[in-house]
């Protein structure tokens, strides 16, 4: 395929995610952990704009500290564009612009959302004609959370989190997110979980015997009842994340005192997700946390995965 298929710019929006349930198995020889998780895509978005270009380039906007996001081939969006070009035999390039809203290293899959958005944007820009199944295959090669950022909605993830099955979720759930200025390294949090499990089973959750999402989680999603979902929120990484950042536990307690139904560390943290009974309750929780000097955002889920805008 040649550059001649390039056309005008393409703007794609992809959501960040919350893991409403995250069960982590033992560490495999390849360093990965088996997971059983339920992702929910929420209304905090990454925007990626792809413009025709002869070479590959990337600019990132919306981050306070630009040094936290690589601009070279370590950037997941850049890797996505180059992987797609190779798969489609496209010999041109692309100028990518990322407008970030999802906190960097926040446990909300912002980099994965950028990768999914770059795949969809470059696919449209270059007119590759690849099938959706092939795009999902490329997404899984880029990272375990990338297929979900393409898919969106609410889904069960197994394997490394990359084997997806849609979960039936009725209605809309209201969340208040409390972000942190400083991110947490995902490998460091998994490493801490391994160490805690080795040291003393009482300090961390034991590796689950069977890695299935518990039925009550799926029932709560199906009923659309926020109270039911609140009682089944669970994250095996939370103990390890709190070990690194004890303030996260206090933030969850603060959110509950402010009226949230329950709270959880999102993925590997440090973003805290507080589930609320409805929009008004979420606004009250947000105001109370803002008064306490925190940085809360009101979002809802589920929302669709990476989509072309306009
Ligand atoms: P993970 O997906 O590893 O759980 P996360 O959701 O906590 O991570 P991300 O914002 O996706 O956090 O980024 C984790 C790290 O990946 C960053 O610290 C950064 O070095 C690197 N990275 C690569 N590409 C991107 C990108 N497009 N946006 C942000 N970070 C990126």
Write b or e for each residue in 265-277: b if 16 or more Cβ atoms lie within 10 A of its Cβ, otherwise e.
bbbbbbbbbbbbb
Query: Which of 17, 49, 69 should be mutated for ligand 1, with most atoms under 8 A from CB?
Result: 69
Check if 255 has its Cβ closer than 6 Å to any atom of ligand 1. no
Domain parsing of the chain, residue ranges: 10-167, 173-301
Q: Tell me, in angstroms, the distance from the centre of ligand 1 to residue 178's CA.
A: 18
Q: Is the CB of 144 under 6 A from ligand 1?
A: no
- Write down the pTM of the prediction: 0.93
As given in the structure block, the two tokens for residue 8 are 């005008």
CATH of domain 173-301: 3.30.70.890
Residue with CA closest to ligand 1 atom 16: 111
Q: Which CATH number applies to 10-167?
A: 3.30.230.10
What the block records as the tokens of 157 is 């993830």
pLDDT at 207: 52
List residues with catalytic annotation: 17, 145
Please, which residues have CB within 8 angstroms of residue 280's CB and are 6 or more apart in sequence? Answer: none
Distance, in Å, from the CA atom of 153 to the CA atom of 131, rounded to the nearest integer, reads: 20
* Adjacent-strand bridge partners of 27: 33
Q: Is 111 in the pocket of ligand 1 (CB under 6 A)?
A: yes
The per-residue pLDDT for 202 is 44
pLDDT of residue 4: 43
Mean pLDDT across the stretch 56-63?
97
162-213 pLDDT, tens digit per residue, is: 889 999 999 999 999 999 988 899 999 999 999 988 886 544 455 554 588 9
pLDDT at 242 over 80: yes
Torsion 125-127-128-130 (CA) sign = positive
């Amino acid at each position: 395929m040649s550059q001649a298929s390039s056309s005008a710019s393409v703007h794609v929006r992809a959501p960040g995610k919350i893991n409403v349930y995250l069960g982590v198995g033992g560490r495999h020889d390849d360093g990965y952990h088996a997971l059983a998780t339920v992702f929910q895509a929420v209304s905090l978005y990454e925007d990626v704009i792809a413009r025709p270009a002869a070479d590959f380039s990337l600019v990132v906007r919306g981050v306070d500290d630009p040094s936290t996001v690589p601009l070279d081939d370590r950037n997941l969006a850049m890797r996505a564009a180059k992987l797609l070009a190779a798969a489609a035999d496209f010999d041109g390039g692309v100028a990518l612009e990322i407008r970030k809203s999802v906190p960097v290293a926040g446990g909300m899959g912002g980099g994965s959302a950028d990768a999914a958005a770059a795949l969809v944007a470059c696919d449209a820009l270059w007119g590759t004609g690849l099938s959706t199944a092939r795009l999902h295959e490329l997404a899984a090669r880029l990272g375990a959370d990338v297929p979900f950022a393409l898919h969106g909605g609410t889904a069960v993830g197994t394997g490394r989190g990359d084997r997806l099955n849609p979960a039936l979720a009725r209605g809309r759930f209201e969340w208040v997110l409390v972000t942190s200025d400083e991110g947490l390294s995902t490998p460091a949090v998994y490493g801490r979980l391994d160490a805690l499990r080795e040291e003393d089973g009482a300090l961390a959750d034991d590796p689950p015997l069977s890695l299935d999402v518990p039925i009550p989680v799926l029932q709560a999603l199906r009923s659309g009842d926020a109270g039911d979902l609140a009682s089944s929120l669970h994250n095996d990484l939370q103990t390890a994340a709190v070990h690194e950042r004890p303030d996260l536990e206090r933030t969850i307690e603060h959110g509950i005192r402010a009226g949230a139904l329950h709270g959880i560390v999102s993925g590997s943290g440090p973003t805290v997700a507080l589930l609320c009974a409805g929009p008004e309750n979420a606004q009250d929780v947000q105001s109370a946390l803002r008064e306490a000097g925190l940085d809360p955002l009101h979002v809802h889920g589920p929302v669709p995965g990476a989509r072309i805008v306009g």
